[in-house]
Amino acid sequence: MALPSGFARGLQRALSLESVRLDQPTRRSGPSWLLNPRRLEIALTAAAYPGVHLRSASRLLLSPLPSLRFHVERLAGHGLLRTRRLGNRVLLFVPGQFPVWAEPFLAAWEEPLDRRVLILIRDHPGIPRATLRRQIVPDSGILERSLARLHGIGAVRSRGGREGRRFSVTVAWERFERLCHEGRADRLQAFLSLLASEDLHPLLEEMTEDRARVSVDAPRTRIRFSLPLDPLARGPPS
């Protein structure tokens, strides 16, 4: 069946969203902030793409930035979303999924250029700058800005002179990768607990190595979605 009109096509594709009509579920008294379809969209986006920045979320959800900011501020104010400013960008996280020290790494992974640089450096320890330039982008200025960002957050290190520099990922980045691969069950449980706290009655229907199939109660439908559990194992937001 068709999803409620509030759910954007981009999110529907990314998370394999579907909905089934149901009788009005029994709910506790008091407000539930995630019963608002737009706010539920935002929470699902932050869970699937931890570190996604506000503009990317706006494109994915087909939502104007002023409206998105309004809902993000309400969610953050009630402890259902965590925001972090990095440079001129506001990043979105679900509380309890990742420690604060990992957030800059997640933000870098959401950036297509930084992600490509990281993958090459990780897969080819000691890779020369010249090789990175040939394989990434002809504009050395763009590459240098990416390398400076990654060095600044402690994801990569270099040795040698400017033109002869060779790059490797840091111990901190390797720790981050282990966290992503080994912490799937804990992240899923944290998100299910958040949904349960908002009276959405989450149900884990299926779990594979990298994804979980979950359903929740929306106002008039039971919504099913496929949630990525390892940010390093899936692509960036479309």
**53 forms bridges with which residues in the sheet?**
91
- Residue 173 vs residues 53, 83, 122: alpha-carbon distances, Å: 20, 22, 9
| 195 in Cβ contact with 202 (< 8 Å) | yes
Q: Which amino acid is at 191?
A: F
pLDDT above 90: residue 164: no
Q: Which amino acid is at 10?
A: G
pLDDT above 70: residue 142: yes
Q: How confident is the model at residue 128 (pLDDT cuts 50, 70, 90)?
A: very high
User: How far is it, in rounded angstroms, from Cα 237 to Cα 3?
Assistant: 20
Contacts of 185 (CB under 8 A, 6+ apart): none
pLDDT above 50: residue 1: no
Cα torsion through 26, 229, 14, 102, rounded to 10: 110
| Total-model pTM | 0.82
Helices first, then strands: H and E counts in the chain? 10, 10
77 vs 13, higher pLDDT? 77
pLDDT above 90: residue 46: yes
Structure tokens at 180: 């992503």
Percent pLDDT > 90 in the chain is: 59
pLDDT above 50: residue 194: yes
